[in-house]
Structure 1
Amino acid sequence: MANGSRQAAWEFFGAELKRRREDAGLTQMELGSRVFVSGGYIGQFEQAIRKPQLDVAQRIDEILQTEGFFERTWRKLIDDKRYAEYFAEVVELERTATKISTFAPTLVPGLLQTSAYTRAVMLAGNPFASDDSIEEKVEARRERARVLDGTTPPEYWAILHEHVLRIPVGGSAAMAEQLDHVVSLARRRKVLVQTLPYAVGAYPLMGRMVQLMEFAEAPPTAYTEAVYSGSLLDDPALVKRVQGAYDLLRAAALPPEASLALIESAAEDHRRCASTT
C-alpha cells in the first residue's frame, strides 16, 4: 500500500472512530478513560495523527460494541506478514517519524543493513526456511531502509556498541561490506553514527536494543525488544526515562569522526581475515 493510500485509510479509520464515538454519546475524554488512554490520544487517532496499538483498537471495539471493526481495520492497515506481529507497527511508525534514534548492542540496525548481512541473520534464525522465504524477508528489510532515501527522510542517529563491529555476520567479506555501507551512509550525511567502545565498560540500557521515534504532530515513542517479543512504549514518563538513558549513551560514545575511524578499522580487520581464508 502506497503511503498516500495508507494515510487515506487511516483518515477513514479516524473518521469512523469519531462517528461511532459520537453515536455512543461519548466525549473523547470519556472514551479515552475507558480504553486506558488520554482523551488527547483519542483526538489524535480521529485526526489520523497517531495510530492506536492493537490492544487499544480491541478495547475500542469492546466499548463501542463495533463487533471487531477497528481490530480488523487495524490488522489490514498494519499487519504485514513479512514482519513479526510485535514489530509491524514499528515499521508503520518509521514511515512517519521525523527523527529516529537507535542503540544497537549486538546487531547492525535493520535500516542500515546490507542484503548479505540481513540474509545471514535470517538464515541463522530460520535454518530450515526456504530460499524464497528468506529472500522475502531480505526484501522487506530493504524496503524498510528506503525510508532513509525518501524526499523527507527522518533524522537518523545510531549508536553501535563495538561488539556489533566485531562479529563477522555472514563471514568476514560480508561484514567488511556491511561496515563500509554504514560508513558510506554517514559520509553522505544520511545518518549520524557513534560507537560505544569496549573500554566504556558498563553502560545504560546494558544489552538492550532501543529505538526512539519522534513525530511532527504526535508524542514520541520508544521501542525495545526481548526474545521473540517487543514493546512499543508511549507513556510520556517512560519514554522520557528511555530518552535520558539514550542521552547518557551519547555522552559515553565516541564522537562521530572517531566512531567512523573505529568502524573503518574494524572493516579492514574483516577484510584481512577474508583475504587469508
Structure 2
Amino acid sequence: MPPNDVGEKAELARLKAKIATVQDRDIRAALQARIDELSAKVAAEPEVEEVAEPEELPPPPTPEQAEQAERLVRQAVLEKRRGNKEAVTKLLQEAVAVAPGAPATLEALGDDFAERRRTKEALEYYRRAKELDPKNVGLERKHAELALRVGMAGSIEDQMRANLSDSWFIGQGDNTASLGTARLLSFIAPGLGHLVLGRTAAGFGLLGTWIACMVWLLIQHNDVAGLVKMILGGRGNFGGGIFPPLLIAIITLFMAVGSLSGGRSAARKAKPKAHPKPPVDLPFE
C-alpha cells in the first residue's frame, strides 16, 4: 500500500473520531467536507501492495566537501543574524547539495524549516539526518516533538492555535486571536470578534442582525433623537416603533459578548488531555 494512502486512511479515521466530539456547526461542516474528500480519494485508489525499496544512503562527505559545507553554514548563521531568512534557506540548501551525507547540515536545514513553520520539509530533513546519525538523541527528540505537534494540530480549532488557520484576521506572527480583543471588537460591532476567531457563521449572523437594527433605527432617526432628548432630561417625542430594533440590538450585543466570554470559561473547566511522550528514550539498534 502506498505511504500516502496509509496517511490518508489514518487521517480519515482520526477525523471521524474527532467530528463526534465537536459541537460547533461551522467546524463540523469543515470536518465533514474533509472527510468526504478523503473518503472519495481513498475509494478511488486501488489496493496495491508495494514493496518499498530501501533508500540508499549518501556516502560520508570528503574533507573538502565538509569544509565547503561548513563555510556555507557559517554564512547562513551570519545571514540569520541579519534577518535574511531567504538567504539562510538558500545557503543551507547549497550546503546540503555539497555534502548530502553530513547529518549536521541536514539537521541545520531542518531547524530552519521548523522555525519558518514549514513542517513537512523540516520532518523530511530530520528523517534523512536520523538515517545518517541514528544515535543522535537530540535529533531524535526534535523529530519526535515536531511530528507530535503536527499530529496534535488535527481540528480546525487546533490548526488556529498552531498558526495553520487561514482566517482573514490571524497573521503569520500570531498564534491565535486574543479573546479579550475579540470581546472588545464584538462590543463595538457584534459579530466582529467571532470573525476574528474564525467562527464565520455566528459572526456574520450577529453582524448582519446588528446592521439591520442600525438601519432600522436610522430610518426612524427622528424618533431616536426624541428618545435621546428625553433621556438627557429634555422634551422629546418618539413612537413605539423604535423599541423592537433597539431591543434586538441590545440582545445581539449581549449574545455576542457573552458567547465569547463563555468560551474562555469552558476552556478553563476543560481537563487537560494527556498526550504521549515522544519516543526519545527507546534503545537504538
TM-score, normalised to structure 1, is: 0.22
Structure number with the higher helix fraction is: 2
RCO higher in structure (CA 8 A, sep ≥6)? 1
Structure number with the higher strand fraction is: 1
TM-score, normalised to structure 2, is: 0.22
